[in-house]
């Protein structure tokens, strides 16, 4: 599977420059970062969560994990959990499971970005497939997604 048309059309219609980075098949964000020889702090992984019944996307560096108590407090919710695979396959049908791009807006989700990712001028992420990633300017990503930025993760 290549980059989904939905992602390409989204970036192209918003006149965002990006670079396609094909790589050998990899399933974990840290593994993809190593395969591409990029810092784990620059490689973003998208995690879909259910917060008091609504879906949202958390975007964090490959080497980080979500701090559920901190994020629950920031969101002001009582229940926060990972979304089920069955929900994800129907929500993001143009992407392979576990290779979601950080574009929650494309899928009707609020987006939260860990502040660690904002420190780099570029962001690299799965392009909806386990064999291709995209690189773009973080400023362009922030302009498109208008994410909430907060410390929501910790080093793994």
pLDDT 10s digits, 112-141: 999 999 998 999 888 877 678 889 999 999
Q: Is the pLDDT of residue 21 over 60?
A: yes
Q: Which helix (H) or strand (E) holds 7?
A: helix 5-13
Side-chain-side CA neighbours of 51 within 13 Å: the count stands at: 21
Q: Show the 3-state SS of 122-143.
A: EEEEEEEECCEEEEEEHHHHHH
Q: Is the pLDDT of residue 2 over 60?
A: no
Could you tell me the pLDDT band of residue 16, with boundaries at 50, 70 and 90?
A: very high
**Residue ranges per domain, the chain?**
5-155
CA distance 154 to 26: 23
CA distance 133 to 101: 9
pTM for this structure? 0.88
Fold of domain 5-155? YbaK protein (3.90.960)
- Predicted confidence at residue 3, as pLDDT, reads 57
The mean pLDDT of 133-152, rounded to a whole number, is 94
Q: Is the pLDDT of residue 57 over 60?
A: yes
- Predicted confidence at residue 20, as pLDDT, reads 80
Our CA dihedral for 9, 133, 139, 63, rounded to 10 degrees, sits at 150
Least confident of 68-72, 76-80, 86-90: 86-90
Average pLDDT, the chain: 85
Helices (H), 14-156: 29-36, 68-75, 85-91, 138-145
CA distance 36 to 69: 32
């Amino acid at each position: 599977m290549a980059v989904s048309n939905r992602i390409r059309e989204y970036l192209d219609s918003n006149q965002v420059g990006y670079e396609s980075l094909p790589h050998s098949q990899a399933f974990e964000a840290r593994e993809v970062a190593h395969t591409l020889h990029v810092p784990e702090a620059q490689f973003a992984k998208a995690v879909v969560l259910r917060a008091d019944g609504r879906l949202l996307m958390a975007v964090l560096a490959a080497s980080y994990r979500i701090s559920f108590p901190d994020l629950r407090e920031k969101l002001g919710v009582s229940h926060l959990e990972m979304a089920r695979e069955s929900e994800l396959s129907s929500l993001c049908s143009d992407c392979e499971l576990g290779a979601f791009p950080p574009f929650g807006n494309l899928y009707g989700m609020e987006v939260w970005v860990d502040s660690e990712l904002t420190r780099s001028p570029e962001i690299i992420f799965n392009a909806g497939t386990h064999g291709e990633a995209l690189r773009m300017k973080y400023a362009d990503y922030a302009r498109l997604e208008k994410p909430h930025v907060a410390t929501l993760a910790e080093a793994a």
